Amino acid sequence: MVLSICPDLFDAAARDEKPRKSRSAKAELGQFFTPPGIAAFMASAFPQPTGPVALLDAGAGEGALTEAFVKRWSDHVPISARLYELDERVLPVLEERAKSLTKGHVSVWVECEDFLEAAAMMLMLSRGDRFTHAILNPPYRKIGTASRARGLISSAGLETVNLYTGFVGLALELLRPGGQLVAIIPRSFCNGPYYRPFRRFITARAALCSIHLFGSRRDAFAGDEVLQENVIIRLERGGAQGDVLISTSTNAGFEDLDSRVWKFDEIIVPGDDELFIHVPTTENAPLAEEQAVTTSLADLGLQVSTGPVVDFRLRRHLRGMPENGTVPLIYPQHLKGPWVVWPVEGGKKPNAIARNRETERWLFPTGWYAAVRRFSSKEERRRVVATVIDPRLLDGDALGLENHINVFHSKRRPLSPELAAGLTLYLNTSAVDAAFRRFNGHTQVNATDLRQLSYPTRIELEEIGRQGGVHWPTDQQEVDKLVAGVITSAS
């Protein structure tokens, strides 16, 4: 099952086109339906309903989620379910399932309608059903600023960049006070600037009651092509925010289900304007040295930025190898180890950029920096991979930093050698990796993510750098030991 490549039927319909061809016929048909085990788990994530249920299933596919809900709760309460599905190709199966579920005090209604359109209309006119429960595996697809989907979602007061957050936002808005929503969605909404309005929208309207984290999206939907990690969240409309239940399993069978209750402060850190949602687990619980580290990057007087050289905009100034009038240009290819390697002969990317009036404003003065690649590969053990930029390994007195790297600097000026080395070592620890994974489920490392991390004090960072300068640790254990040694001896 692939959540990520469901056809964007709405946008296609709005443009009067066929749904965009996806990677396979299966993808094109949108047959990425929730397996029964996960659907049953989602149905059980609701607290026991205490009165008649008005259920919403938006983007219902073949109705797996409603079926699981009915199986789980129809012995307890009457259920009236409303299912929205736009794809006519799945409708016959959905109608059939609705018919077979409709009996006794269960009634299931299928609406072959665009959910976004229907929801926006209901909300605008303050008409139509309001629901006590919503269960969702919504379509996943980026939506453009000018798209009709974006307009419909923003009519409900939510600015968002993906259909899935739009579906969850609108479904939440359609719930009655105390209404419960359970959704399986990618984890990408937990961090990053694009989903901040969504985080604000849900936290302003609902209590975050539980999060289930799958080991990986691949495991959750074994056999299909899947890209990111999934979470199952439960929200309670207008609920008082209390502790949050976090559970994990490495697969859809839930054999190794593990759960623990966490204080809300550990999920969204008080005072965090970005509202990053951390997903701590017993496995990635804060390490001792993480807890001892509390300084923010701003407290250190440092900044982290995305490399300012966007290569396709400056293409005519790029050079394969350094020559007269050029300065080094640092790409991720130069950051493969703990120290910058430059130039890389025979690499795919240029090594230099001409220094002239047009490029000058994009250059940094040569000096010591810590740099982090913005994209790591799934195979890499750590998500945050840092490298020291050592000016002794470079030419010239200016430096181009390409857009696929993040760089730590002091108001665009270099750091001291100890600070650059100390930051690099600290960023390469298991503790940072664990902290990072609690709020970021994908392999992209943004400058905002790095601003969210806590850091040791400047004195500690410089000491780490000094010790690294005497003997640079060669493996993960040594890096962790060196950094923990400095931090714990200081605290």
Ligand X SMILES: C[S@@+](CC[C@H](N)C(=O)[O-])C[C@H]1O[C@@H](n2cnc3c(N)ncnc32)[C@H](O)[C@@H]1O
Which residues of this chain interact with ligand X, rule CB under 6 A?
Answer: 3, 6, 9-10, 30, 32-34, 59-61, 64-65, 84-87, 90, 114-116, 137-139
Q: Give me 26's structure tokens.
A: 């299966």
Write the DSSP assignment of 193-250 as a string of letters: GGGHHHHHHHHHHEEEEEEEEES-HHHHTTTS---S-EEEEEEEETPPP--EEEEEES
Give kind and range of the element (H or E) at residue 413: none
Q: Which is nearer to ligand X, 3 or 40 (CB)?
A: 3
* Smallest distance, ligand X to C-beta of residue 85, A: 5
User: What backbone torsions phi and psi does residue 60 show, to the nearest 5 degrees?
Assistant: -80, -15
* Smallest distance, ligand X to C-beta of residue 67, A: 9
Q: Give me 465's structure tokens.
A: 């750098």
Q: Give Cβ neighbours of residue 427 (< 8 Å, ≥ 6 apart).
A: 370, 372, 384, 386, 450
Q: State the angle between helix axes of 430-439 and 476-490 in degrees (0 to 180), rounded to the nearest 10.
A: 90
Q: Which is nearer to ligand X, 142 or 263 (CB)?
A: 142
* Smallest distance, ligand X to C-beta of residue 234, A: 16
* Smallest distance, ligand X to C-beta of residue 390, A: 48
Q: Which is nearer to ligand X, 226 or 330 (CB)?
A: 226
221-254 residues labelled b (16+ CB within 10 A) or e (exposed): beebbbbbbbbbbbbbbebeeeebbbbbbbbbeb
Q: Which is nearer to ligand X, 88 or 345 (CB)?
A: 88
Report helix, strand and coil shares of the chain as percent, to nearest 5.
Answer: 35, 25, 45
* Beta bridge partner(s), residue 306: 406
* Smallest distance, ligand X to C-beta of residue 95, A: 14
Q: Which is nearer to ligand X, 9 or 420 (CB)?
A: 9
111 C-beta neighbours (distance < 10 Å), count: 14
Q: Which is nearer to ligand X, 163 or 434 (CB)?
A: 163
Q: Which is nearer to ligand X, 85 or 229 (CB)?
A: 85
Q: Which is nearer to ligand X, 61 or 280 (CB)?
A: 61
Please state, in angstroms and rounded to a whole number, the distance separating the CA atoms of residues 161 and 171.
16
* Smallest distance, ligand X to C-beta of residue 92, A: 13
* Smallest distance, ligand X to C-beta of residue 149, A: 7
* Smallest distance, ligand X to C-beta of residue 230, A: 11
Amino acid of residue 420: A
323 C-beta neighbours (distance < 10 Å), count: 10
* Smallest distance, ligand X to C-beta of residue 297, A: 38
Contact call for residues 175 and 130 (beta carbons, < 8 A): yes
Q: Give me 488's structure tokens.
A: 């714990």
Q: Which is nearer to ligand X, 184 or 479 (CB)?
A: 184
